[in-house]
Amino acid sequence: MIKNVGSRLPFFTSKESNLVKGSIDFLGINFYYALYTKNNAKSLQKKNRDYTTDTAVELIPFPGNGTSTDEVNKHVGIRH
């Protein structure tokens, strides 16, 4: 990640690191959506990048599964 993100990766001082250390070790998000991924190293050559391009992958929906992000967001378990 340091290689891909470079100076955009936040830096914590020792004091800041001690403040957050142990506060949360894991955050899990149950996200009901599945995709194929494909190598996309070319995205790292873009001048304007964000977290999606930093992963250097192309996200590809499963063919014919009919699930879109709109459908996922309508799920009864997801509250706004």
- Range 6-15 contact pairs with CB under 8 angstroms and sequence separation of 24 or more: 8/49
Distance of CA 60 to the CA centre of its chain: 15
Q: What is the pLDDT along the chain (80 residues), one digit of tens a residue?
A: 788 888 888 888 999 988 888 887 777 777 666 778 899 999 888 888 887 888 888 888 777 655 555 555 555 555 54
* Residues 54, 41: Cα–Cα separation, whole Å: 9
Q: Quote the pTM value.
A: 0.44
Number of C-beta neighbours around residue 73 at 10 A: 11
The kind and range of the H/E element at 52 are helix 51-54
